[in-house]
Structure formats: structure tokens, C-alpha cells
Structure 1
Amino acid sequence: MLKKLIQSIRSPLRRPRAVRTTPEVVGNHQHSLRREQFSRNAVNVVERLTKAGYQAYIVGGGVRDPLLGIPPKDFDVATSATPEQVRAEFRNARVIGRRFKLVHVHFGREIIEVATFRANHPVTEDDDTNNAHASRNEAGRILRDNVYGTLEDDAQRRDFTINALYFDVTGERILDYAHGVRDIRNRLIRLIGDPEQRYLEDPVRMLRAVRFAAKLDFEIEKHSAAPIRRLAPLLNEIPSARLFDEILKLFLSGKAERTFELLNEYELFAPLFPASAKALKDDPEYAGKLMRQALANTDERIRLGKPVTPAFLFAALLWPALPARVLKLQDRGMPPIPAMQEAAHELILEQCRRTAVPKRFTIPIREIWDMQERLPRRQGKKADLLLENPRFRAGYDFLLLRESAGEETGGLGDWWTDYQEASDGERRGMIRNLASQQEEGGSAAPRKRRRGGSNRRRRGPRTEGASSE
């Protein structure tokens, strides 16, 4: 199927439509950027390379974000100097990478990333097949990217117009090869070159388009958006470890909820979370509400500067796919707890094949889910032992998340909220009252759902949406 999809895309491989060979020069009277706004170390790198006879500019997000009034996360430099030449200029420099060689210049905790101008791999109409296979695999992915070129070449091979802006620190000018300043003003994400071809070169560009659109509150330009739904299956060929890294960038940027909406709009969520996408389709109200609430909680924690971890977030995104699997195993005669454990194991294993979730996250995911089975079991000393469990807070927050999505737990969240705030004597009374009630049984996963939520006061929801637990 994937091979047919690739063959259906325009062939042979061609260079993207050329960007301007002469840049539009945006003078300092036409924009608000001043060299004092940039990292002193980045400016120092540019000036030293320029003094040594090389071209050098601050490029990418370090230019784009200040134009939007956003503090840049870091600063990158593009230069005509090769990695070896850059290293020769800076004793505190280190060459990294093989497929794509870069230089990291270290200034204490700050690292300035320096990249040599790149050119597209030489592909001609007469000999495109041999040349293409020399630098790409059969699906068109670039296998090596150390063909150096000019500044114009470098602008052409960048992905989006808003990332092809070069800041000259000496004259405080912006060199704009692809109308990136205009697209920033119009709040558009636009690919440089032919969109189909650029997505074929690297399907992750579809995720990057979504990430930038969500992060910057931009729209994806219509021609750049048009092929995405059809080409979304190309993500199935991307290595699982790389997809995991991309998911972290997508959902831990502070715009996770908006990202989720765009991923679903462009049918990119299913290649990343196949089981969750199916659960979302089967029960859009419950699954959608739970996922969106978890993502909103994550965005809020990031906004407040609180620590986050992907474990809680993955637990929430995968949870809606779990109940049906638990019930299926129970129908075969498996007891509730083993059914929960087996279903969780299978679901996480499947997800890891798609996105290589590290063990340091899969273990707490399972512990959070396991806590959902243990929280209803409060008789005797079990409640106090659960409170001492290091994963209790994450499990409790997850319980509140389930209830906020409409899942009926018999008031379990309120009970645990009261229990945490009660005195020792009050806690003993609460345990005695449980003895007169029918013991809750069965799996936590398939509980009935309710509309709305309780009006009783809860602790939280701190809902980790990726908490530090």
C-alpha cells in the first residue's frame, strides 16, 4: 500500500521550485530586530566567522520568533565555513553528527549551533534515478545531507519560508529568500518548493508544519496543507525513535491541545497513536474529552513553569484504548487484575513499535494504570498503604481526569480527596463505613460513564498532564 502511495506521487524526483536567487533585503528601518536582542554569544560567533573571511548569519527560529515577539529558545548560525573550519576558529567547539554534520560552540550552559550552508543533492531530469538513489532510500528519504553550497542553496533547501530568514548582525538586515517576512505578517506556514516533493523527502515535515502552526497560532497555507491527508501514511516508514522525539516536540511545547486538533484535522494522529485513534473514532465524546483535558492540563503546567514528564501524557492518550481490551480478556474468563495487566502490556508494546517510548516512561505508565485498579480497594490498611505509594499522586490525578471525562467511579475521587484531608480518627471512620457497603470489584477500566461531574471540592486537578511524579 505504501509503495503504491509513493509511486502515485509525482515522479521522477525533482528539485523544488527555486527560491529567489537574490534575497529581498529588509533594512533595519523595516523591522524591529536589533543585535542587542540576540544572544551575545551568537553575535560573537557570527562576528568571529565574518572576521575570518566567512559568511555567517543568525538563522531560523532565532530570527522568526523575535519578529513575533517570542523569546527564542536558542540561536542557530548558518555559515559558509565547513565544520572543520568552524572548529578551527573556536577552541570550545565540537563537531557532531554524521548524516548532518554540525558544530556546537559551547559558552557555559549555552550552546550555539553552527551549520554550514547546504545544497540540494544533484538530481537532474536525465539522470534522476541514479543520483536519487545515491542520496535517498527507496521511499525518497534523505540518507545523507553534507553537500555544501551557497547561501542561496541553503535558503532553497530549508523547509518553511518563515525559517529561511538570515539576520546580518553587522548591518541589522534580514535577508529574505522566500517571502518569509510576508508569511510571518500573514501568519502562514508555507513550504518552500513543491509540497508533495518536500513531504516525500521527509514526511516528518508534515508534523513540523502542524507544530509550527500550533506554536505560533498560524494557519498552514492551502497548497502546503493540500497533500497532507493523502501522504499521512508515509509516517509509518519513519523510525519509531524519531517519532517519539517528534511527539515530545508536538505535545510539550505549551500548545498540546491545539496540536491535537490539527493532528486530527490532517489525519496525522492515527499514524502516531493507532489504537488511540480507533478509540477516538469509536467513542469520540469520552476519548476526546479525556485526551483534550490531559493536554490542556499539560499546557497549563508548562505555562506555569512546572516540571512535566511524558509518562502521564502517554498514559492519558492511550487509556481510552484500554477498556475494550480489558473487557475482552475478562469475557474469556481472565480475572480483572490480570486482565488489566495483560491488556496494558499489549497496548504499550504496540505503541512502542510505533513510537519508541523509553522504559523510563513505560514503567510509570503501567503504574498509573495499575493504581486505577488499586484505588477502589481501600479496606483495612490498604488506604494508608496506597497513600504512601510514590505513584499515589499520579494515580489520584489520573482518577480525577477519568471522572472529568464522564467516567462513573461511584464517587471514588471525592472519597480519596476527603481521605487525604481527614484526621486519623476521621480516616478510621471512613474505612468502617466502607465495611457496611458492598465491596467494589471489577476492572477500573470499563466502569460506566456519566454526564458532567461532581460539584464537590477536589484536590487539584493538579493533573499531571505530564507531572513531575
Structure 2
Amino acid sequence: DFTINSLYYDPTDGQLLDFNNAMADFKKKRVRSILPLPASFSEDPVRMIRAVKYSVTTGFPLQFDVKRAIKKSANELARVSSSRLTEEVSKILSSGDSAKIIAELHRYKLLVYLLPCVSVFSRLHEVYASLQVLDEQIRVLKETDEAVDEGMKGQMLVALVKPIMSVSPTELTPEESFKEIFGQVKTLISPLTPPNYDVEHAAVIILEEAGTAVPKNCLRARRPVRQPGKPGFRAKQQKHGETPRKGKKVTATVAAAPVKSGPSSTSNKKRRRRKPKAATNAIHVKPELPATDD
């Protein structure tokens, strides 16, 4: 998409291959698009998010044509699927520079398409302050990717939405408080669709910080197991709480097993019926015998 991430490395002779004058852009410290603008952003609007992210993480300013194309094509993000937006925001929150990236996305009027509830919050500086604390924690855990990916997912959501939430656990039972906070988190991060396990984890953190213990039977989602190299892929799942989901009982599959014996018993009945039919056919032949005697 951009020259600064278009370098190739040849391991046989240890050389960098530069087909797009990327080294010149590195020396000039600029983010330049390889493809023509704004057609590149119309083809894949997510490139606008990446452009802002690259600018923040490298410290390189965006070229004027990139800025102009982002302002012109910002509304193209409205047609991007929620799964892709979720993936990009997840990368931003785990980058260690989420506060700066979110601020720049808001400046370029892109944040409203990723996190509309956050973008219209009047005290947006409180969100930035919360994300700065998260960024410090992420930098400490940068060497342990697994801990950043799995152990911090719920905490990332908390840092993003807690400053704009209304928490009143004392007015409700723990179960009702959990449902209320869970619903608030889902609404505030819409249209993003992270796993419910991460949303539940965020709700637990928020309530525990408010002094409310969450009963285990409130936790229904299962922890997604992501395979290496396949972001977002869900294979086997582990229980988050002790109570399984309704309709997931093992007895349902066990009860279905005896049905397999049905076809064999039916086939046996058919075999028994064939013998009487053969006898009946033999009886129809006998009336011809008296005719031959006459």
C-alpha cells in the first residue's frame, strides 16, 4: 500500500530489494502511497486507517496528496465490514500507540466510522488519558505477544469505553449489573464485533473495579482459541464460566446415537415380508393346474 512497507529482503545474499524508492522516503521521513490516489482508498478504504497508523508509529508525516485523499474518501469506510474494522481497532489497541492513533483518526474524521460513540464523546481527552495508561502497559508486555493478545483483550476494551460509561452497580443485583455493563460495552464499541468472551471480561473488570463481584453463572461465552498465523480463527473453545450455554448439552448428541439402529431393524422387517410375497405368487400359479386336467 505504501512505500515504507514495500521493501523485500533476500536472505541468500542479505540484501534489501527496493522497487518503489522506499529508502528515499525513509530518508525524507514521509508516508507515500504506491498506488494512485484517491483510487487506492476507494479500492480498499482500510488503507486510510493504515496510513494514519504508519504515520504515528514511524513519526513520518503524511504527504499532502495522502491527506487530501483521506479527507475526500473518508466516507468510504462506511462500506467496510465490521470484521475488518474490528481487526484494525484490535491492532491499534495492541500497538502501544493507541492514544495517538485514535487522536489522529479523530482529526482526519475517520474515527466516526470505527467508533461512532467514542468519536462524539464531549470529553474525548479522558479517553486519550485512559488509552495512554494502556499503551504503557502494552509496551511493558511487548516482548510477550501471547500475553498482549489474550490476557489484555478485555483490558483494552475497558481502556477504550470506561471513560464514557455510566456505572451504577449499587442500584441493581450483581446479575443485573453484569447484563447492564455488558450491554453498554457492546453498544459503545458498535459496529465492532469482538468475541463475547472479551466483552464479558471487560464487564467483569469494570464491575470488580466498582466493588461488585460477578457470579460465575453470568459468564456464558467461551474463550476463543486463535491458531498462530490465522488471526480471528476459532478452533477449540474453553469455558469462561462454569455454566454451559443452553442448548449445548452433551446428552442431545448421545440420545441421537440409538437412532442408527432404526434402519437395520427396518431392513429386517422388509426381509421377513419378502417370504410371504413369494408364497403368494406361487398360489397364483396353482389355478392353471385344474385347466390342464380337463
Which of the five TM-score ranges fits, normalised by the shorter chain?
0.5 to 0.7
- State the alpha-carbon separation in 2 of the partners of residues 361 and 265 from structure 1: 28
For 2:268, the equivalent position in structure 1 comes to none
Three-state SS of the structure 1 residue aligned to 2:8 is strand
Question: Do the aligned partners of 1:278 and 1:321 also contact (CA within 8 Å) in 2?
Answer: no
* 1:276 and 1:320 in contact (8 A); partners too: no
Q: Does 1:299 align with 2:135?
A: yes
- Residue in structure 2 matched with residue 317 of structure 1 by the alignment: 160
Alignment deviations for residues 362-411 of structure 1 (CA, whole Å, 9 cap, x no partner): 10111123235436xxxxxxxxxx6x999xxxxxxxxxxxxxxxxxxxxx
Asked if 1:283 corresponds to 2:123, the answer is yes
CA distance, structure 1, for counterparts of residue 141 and residue 165 of structure 2: 31
| Deviations 1:184-224 (CA, angstroms, capped at 9, x unpaired) | 11111111122211111111111111221122222111111
Residues 221 and 367 of structure 1: CA distance in aligned 2, closer, same or farther (over 3 Å): same
Q: Deviations over 1:410-448 (max 9, x none)?
A: xxxxxxxxxxxxxxxxxxxxxxxxxxxxxxxxxxxxxxx
Contact 2:114/2:192 (CA < 8 Å) preserved in 1? yes
| 1:272–1:354 Cα contact (<8 Å) kept | yes
1:217 pairs with 2:59: yes
> Is 1:362–2:179 an aligned residue pair?
no
2:113 pairs with 1:265: no
What letter corresponds to residue 193 of structure 2 in structure 1?
Answer: A
What is the DSSP-based 3-state SS (H/G/I as helix, E as strand, rest coil) of the residue aligned with 1:361? helix
Structure 2 distance, partners of 1:340, 1:322, is 13
- 1:397-416 maps to which residues of 2 (within 5 A)? none
Q: Indicate the SS of the match to 2:172.
A: helix
Q: Supply the distance in 2 between the matched residues of 1:160 and 1:356 (Cα, whole angstroms).
A: 28
C-alpha contact (below 8 Å) 2:115/2:189 kept by paired residues:
no
Percent identity for Structure 1 against Structure 2: 25
The letter for the 2-side match of 1:310 is K
Counterpart AA for 2:159: A
Q: Between Structure 1 and Structure 2, whose CA radius of gyration is higher?
A: 2
1:336 and 2:164 are equivalent in the alignment: no
Q: Is the 8 A contact 1:311 1:364 kept in 2?
A: yes
Partner of 2:83: 241
Deviations 1:74-129 (A, max 9, x none): xxxxxxxxxxxxxxxxxxxxxxxxxxxxxxxxxxxxxxxxxxxxxxxxxxxxxxxx
Checking the alignment, whether the CA contact within 8 Å between 1:294 and 1:313 is kept in structure 2 is no
Offset of residue 351 of structure 1:
4.6
What's the offset of the Cα at 1:343? 5.0
Question: How far apart in 1 are the matches of 2:96 and 2:164?
Answer: 25
Instruction: Quote the residue 2:24 is aligned against.
Output: 182
After superposition, give the CA deviation of every residue in 1:239-275 in whole Å (9 maximum; x if it has no partner).
2122111112112122222212221221222211111
Using a 3 Å threshold, how does the CA distance of structure 1 residues 258 and 234 change in structure 2: closer, same or farther? same
Q: Is the 8 A contact 2:182 2:200 kept in 1?
A: no
C-alpha separation in 1, matches of 2:191 and 2:102: 18
Contact 1:240 1:356 in 2 (8 A): yes
Distance 2:7 2:192 in 1: 32
Counterpart secondary structure, 1:167:
strand
Displacement, 1:225? 1.7
For residue 35 of structure 2, give the secondary structure of its aligned residue in structure 1.
coil
Point out where structure 1 has 5 or more consecutive residues left out of the alignment. Answer: 1-158, 328-334, 376-385, 391-469
Amino acid in the other structure paired with 1:302 = I
Q: Structure 1 length as normaliser, TM-score?
A: 0.40
Contact 2:112 2:119 in 1 (8 A): yes
Count of residues in correspondence between the two structures: 207
Partners of 2:103 and 2:189 lie apart in 1 by: 23
Partner of 1:142: none
Task: Label 1:172 to 1:316 Cα distance change in 2 as closer, same or farther (>3 A).
Answer: closer
Task: Decide whether the 8 Å contact of 1:275 with 1:318 is kept in 2.
Answer: no
Runs of 4 or more above 6 Å deviation: none
Q: Per the alignment, do residues 186 and 197 of structure 1 end up closer, same or farther by CA in structure 2, a change over 3 Å counting? A: same
Other-structure match for 1:118: none
How far the C-alpha of 1:314 sits from its partner, in A, is 1.1
Using a 3 Å threshold, how does the CA distance of structure 1 residues 343 and 229 change in structure 2: closer, same or farther? Answer: farther
Q: Is the 8 A contact 1:161 1:178 kept in 2?
A: yes
RMSD: 3.0
SS at structure 2 position matched to 1:192: coil
Other-structure match for 1:165: 7
Does structure 1 residue 347 correspond to structure 2 residue 184? yes
Question: How does the TM-score come out when normalised to structure 2?
Answer: 0.61
1:137-176 to structure 2, matched below 5 A, reads 159-176=1-18
